Amino acid sequence: MEEEKIIKDAEVETKKDVEVSEEEKIKKMKMDKYVEFLLIFVLGVLIGVAVKTEAAKRITMGFDDYLMKMHKQEYNINGLQDALAEEATEEAPAAEEETGQ
């Protein structure tokens, strides 16, 4: 009698197990997505730290500019701007005379 009762209970439990297993699959899929997002985030932070440390070694522009040795510049930017402005003012009356004919 007990053997028959055990078999009947087992048959009934298998139907419940099938329904529960699909719910568990959905929960596992959601958990897997969260774990993937977490791993991607951690990987991004690690790559960012690595890039920042390598860039700090090689890039000299930024906060420490005042520590750099200043070299003499080949071009005088202010002088070039003044010369271009003078040329533009000299050419402006000539262009007006040509269009005014």
pLDDT of residue 4: 60
Assess whether pLDDT exceeds 90 at residue 39: yes
pLDDT of residue 91: 82
Assess whether pLDDT exceeds 60 at residue 53: yes
Domain of residue 29 covers: 2-100
Cα–chain center distance at 94: 53
Rounded average pLDDT over 64-88: 82
pLDDT of residue 31: 94
pLDDT of residue 66: 74
Rounded average pLDDT over 32-45: 97
Check: pTM over 0.75? Answer yes or no: no
What total number of domains does the chain contain? 1
Task: Decide: 68 and 60 in contact? Cβ < 8 Å.
Answer: yes
Assess whether pLDDT exceeds 90 at residue 14: no
65: helix, strand or coil: helix
Rounded average pLDDT over 51-78: 78
